[in-house]
């Protein structure tokens, strides 16, 4: 669900704005989160309404619980360099799911949830 935000035939997630050979470290707004992980930079991503998604607890020790009125199909957890550290899919339609984070190290991450029509991102802290 990415877009060519500047009409140069290159999807935003593949743009290399700082011309160092890797789009993974581009941070045009300087907030420390890679551009391709941010909905306000990758313009075409539909976001799930904050009132429709509940992610808890945060900080998390082992399990993250997600409640949503939309069917969450998949998730990805990214480190702040944009590397996927954990990802998965949900096979059954559920309004509540859990994500086991025991395998990731302590730190700050971006949780991305995807439904059939939208994406939702939230910063999480693993303790």
Q: pLDDT tens-digit profile of 14-58?
A: 777 777 777 777 777 777 777 767 766 554 444 445 457 889 999
Q: Is the pLDDT of residue 115 over 70?
A: yes
Segments making up each domain of the chain, as ranges: 1-45, 46-127
Contact between 112 and 120 under an 8 Å Cβ cutoff? The reply is yes
Indicate the SS3 state at residue 52: helix
Q: pTM for the complete prediction? A: 0.61
Fold of 46-127: Immunoglobulin-like (2.60.40)
Residues 79-110 pLDDT 10s: 999 999 999 998 776 678 899 999 999 999 99
C-alpha distances out from residue 58 to 1, 98, 111, Å: 26, 13, 11
- d(C-alpha 14, C-alpha 96), whole Å: 33
């Amino acid at each position: 669900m990415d877009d060519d935000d500047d009409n140069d035939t290159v999807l935003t997630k593949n743009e290399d704005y700082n011309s160092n050979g890797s789009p993974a470290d581009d941070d045009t707004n300087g907030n420390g989160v890679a551009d391709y992980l941010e909905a306000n930079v990758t313009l075409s991503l539909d976001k799930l309404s904050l009132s429709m998604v509940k992610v808890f607890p945060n900080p998390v020790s082992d399990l993250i619980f997600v409640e949503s009125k939309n069917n969450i199909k998949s998730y990805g957890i990214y480190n702040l360099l944009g590397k996927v550290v954990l990802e998965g899919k949900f096979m059954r339609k559920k309004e509540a799911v859990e994500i086991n984070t025991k395998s990731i190290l302590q730190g700050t991450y971006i949780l991305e949830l995807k439904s059939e029509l939208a994406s939702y991102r939230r910063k999480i802290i693993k303790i």
